[in-house]
């Protein structure tokens, strides 16, 4: 076993689908243990909780927190106090204010706190950012619509306070938006649709802008059936830029320039290894702030109950 020894905490869908293969494929990092109440991985030490992992587990250098956002802060505190580097799945927390003490604790402990935004590592995001840096941007439209029953089956936490509802995928769009646009953005209005039996929205329409008055509209919907949309469309003086498939495809003025497979989590783990080598933190809260402001400013309407 060599390099950074990491334990995954919260062994659910994203841990299995992305973290395990990405760790296996990244030089300088090894999966050393799993902490999850109900799930384990054959051949690896298993603990029910992060406290048991830190007390009784093998020597580790880092944890990747893949639990729902509502429980991650306390887990991050425990890991940082034990001297471990911490990778946070997105969104970095259930609240914006819980991140400041975590950042301070990481600095005090001289450990890395990495708030991941996996969508920023999609292959077309960096080329889109570079292209837009040279253009006048006139208008942005985001369409992020997916079928919650396909992508989040049985995930009750998503509908509870702090679970974000449709903002759980929507924040991925906002993480791309805040990376590719050259200016700082803010929310001016939002309309949130809450199922009558849920504490989190199933759909949201958000209006944003920057200090130049750029019109930005985002439509998030969890009720999409049939074709799914993960698109960002930017009108510019050089033609229309379309980022689609969640950032895997880039077309400009109708011509496809990038179309590449998803290697987002490889990029995340490469960056985590680099950060941990110098105990540097990387925490950008701008996507979470936009979501928080959508909740602050948003008008609310109640829609039909959601049953999984
Ligand atoms: P998930 O399938 O529900 O997995 C999370 C795991 O955390 C659960 O299997 C559960 O394992 C554990 N857990 C749940 N509630 C807990 C609690 N109260 N205390 C401690 N552990 C708890 O969810 P997921 O889809 O993997 O999502 C996890 C995070 O990754 C979310 O923030 C999500 O936004 C992010 N993410 C998800 C995706 C995706 O496509 N699903 C993509 C990118 C990022 P045990 O029961 O074994 O403890």
Q: List, edge to edge, every strand of the sheet that includes 85-88.
A: 46-47, 29-35, 4-9, 62-65, 85-88, 113-115
With contact defined as beta carbons under 8 Å apart, do 140 and 243 qualify? no
Give the distance between the most distant pair of CA atoms in the chain: 60
User: Are residues 58 and 206 both part of a single domain?
Assistant: no
Residue 45 CB less than 6 A away from ligand 1:
no
User: Are residues 108 and 178 both part of a single domain?
Assistant: no
Q: What percent of the chain has pLDDT over 70?
A: 99
Rounded to the nearest whole angstrom, what is the distance from the C-alpha of residue 241 to the centroid of ligand 1? 33
Tokens of 171: 């924040």
| Separation CA 216–CA 238 (nearest Å) | 18
16: part of which helix (H) or strand (E)? none
Q: What is the mean pLDDT of residues 156-184?
A: 98
User: Are residues 79 and 225 both part of a single domain?
Assistant: no
**Could you say which of 84, 90, 139, 255 is catalytic?**
90
In a domain, 156, yes or no: yes
Residue 264 CB less than 6 A away from ligand 1:
no
User: The pTM is what?
Assistant: 0.97
CATH of the domain at 100: 3.40.50.720
Q: Given 115, 130, 147, which residue is the final one in a domain?
A: 115
Could you tell which of 7, 11, 12, 49 is best to mutate to test the pocket of ligand 1, judged by most ligand atoms within 8 Å of the CB? 12
- Per the document, the length of the chain is 308
Rounded to the nearest whole angstrom, what is the distance from the C-alpha of residue 283 to the centroid of ligand 1? 20
Q: What is the mean pLDDT of residues 225-253?
A: 97
pLDDT band of 2, cuts 50, 70, 90: low
Rounded to the nearest whole angstrom, what is the distance from the C-alpha of residue 10 to the centroid of ligand 1? 6
In a domain, 93, yes or no: yes
| Separation CA 130–CA 257 (nearest Å) | 13
Q: What is the mean pLDDT of residues 260-278?
A: 97
Please report how the helices 167-180 and 286-297 are oriented relative to each other, as an axis angle in degrees rounded to 10: 120
Residue 92 CB less than 6 A away from ligand 1:
no
User: Are residues 254 and 127 both part of a single domain?
Assistant: yes
Question: What's phi and psi for 237, nearest 5 deg?
Answer: -70, -10
Residue 13 CB less than 6 A away from ligand 1:
yes
Evaluate if residue 97 carries a pLDDT over 80. yes
**What pLDDT is attached to residue 161?**
97
Tokens of 170: 């929507």
User: Are residues 108 and 170 both part of a single domain?
Assistant: no
Rounded to the nearest whole angstrom, what is the distance from the C-alpha of residue 299 to the centroid of ligand 1? 29
Evaluate if residue 27 carries a pLDDT over 80. yes
Residue 165 CB less than 6 A away from ligand 1:
no
C-alpha torsion sign, points 196, 202, 205, 208: positive
Q: Given 80, 115, 150, which residue is the final one in a domain?
A: 115
Residue 184 CB less than 6 A away from ligand 1:
no
Strand partners, 299: 191
Q: What is the mean pLDDT of residues 219-245?
A: 97
Buried b (16+ CB within 10 A) or exposed e, 105-116: bbeebebbbbbb
Domain containing residue 63: 4-115
Q: What is the mean pLDDT of residues 196-205?
A: 98
Residue 71 CB less than 6 A away from ligand 1:
yes
Q: What is the mean pLDDT of residues 33-62?
A: 98
User: Are residues 110 and 24 both part of a single domain?
Assistant: yes
- Is 90 one of the annotated active-site residues of the chain? yes
| Separation CA 70–CA 209 (nearest Å) | 29
With contact defined as beta carbons under 8 Å apart, do 148 and 221 qualify? no
CATH of the domain at 130: 3.30.360.10
User: Are residues 146 and 258 both part of a single domain?
Assistant: yes
User: Are residues 239 and 104 both part of a single domain?
Assistant: no
User: Are residues 47 and 193 both part of a single domain?
Assistant: no
User: Are residues 182 and 244 both part of a single domain?
Assistant: yes
Q: Given 115, 139, 173, which residue is the final one in a domain?
A: 115
Q: Residue 160, class by beta-carbon neighbours within 10 Å (0-12 exposed, 13-18 middle, 19+ buried)?
A: middle
User: Are residues 96 and 142 both part of a single domain?
Assistant: no
Domain count across the chain: 2
Evaluate if residue 1 carries a pLDDT over 80. no
User: Are residues 221 and 79 both part of a single domain?
Assistant: no
Rounded to the nearest whole angstrom, what is the distance from the C-alpha of residue 136 to the centroid of ligand 1? 40
User: Mean pLDDT in the chain?
Assistant: 97
**What pLDDT is attached to residue 222?**
98
pLDDT digits (tens, 9 = 90+) for 104-123: 999 999 999 999 999 999 99
In a domain, 281, yes or no: no
Q: What is the mean pLDDT of residues 126-150?
A: 98
Evaluate if residue 240 carries a pLDDT over 70. yes
């Amino acid at each position: 076993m060599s390099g950074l020894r990491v334990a995954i905490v919260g062994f659910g869908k994203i841990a299995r689908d992305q973290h395990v293969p990405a760790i296996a494929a990244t030089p300088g990092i090894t999966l050393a243990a799993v902490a999850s109440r109900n799930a384990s991985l054959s051949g690896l030490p298993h603990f029910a909780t992060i406290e048991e992992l830190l007390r009784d587990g093998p020597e580790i250098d880092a944890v990747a927190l893949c639990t729902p956002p509502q429980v991650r802060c306390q887990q991050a505190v425990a890991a940082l106090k034990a001297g471990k580097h911490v990778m946070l799945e997105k969104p970095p927390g259930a609240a914006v204010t819980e991140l400041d003490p975590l950042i301070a604790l990481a600095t005090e402990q001289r450990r890395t706190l990495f708030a991941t935004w996996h969508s920023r590592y999609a292959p077309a995001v960096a080329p889109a950012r570079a292209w837009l840096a040279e253009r006048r941007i006139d208008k942005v439209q985001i369409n992020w619509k997916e079928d919650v029953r396909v992508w989040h089956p049985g995930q009750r936490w998503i509908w509870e306070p702090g679970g974000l509802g449709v903002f759980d995928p929507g924040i991925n769009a906002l993480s791309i938006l805040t990376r590719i646009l050259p200016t700082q953005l803010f929310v001016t209005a939002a309309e949130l649709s809450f199922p009558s039996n849920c504490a989190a929205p199933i759909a949201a329409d958000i209006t944003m802008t920057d200090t130049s008055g750029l019109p930005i509209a985002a439509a998030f919907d969890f009720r999409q059936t049939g074709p799914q949309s993960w698109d960002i469309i930017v009108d510019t003086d050089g033609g229309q830029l379309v980022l689609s498939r969640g950032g895997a495809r880039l077309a400009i003025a109708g011509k496809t320039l990038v179309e590449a497979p998803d290697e987002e989590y490889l990029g995340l783990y490469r960056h985590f290894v680099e950060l941990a080598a110098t105990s540097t933190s990387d925490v950008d809260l701008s996507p979470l702030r936009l979501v928080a402001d959508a909740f602050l400013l948003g008008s609310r309407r109640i829609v039909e109950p959601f049953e999984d």
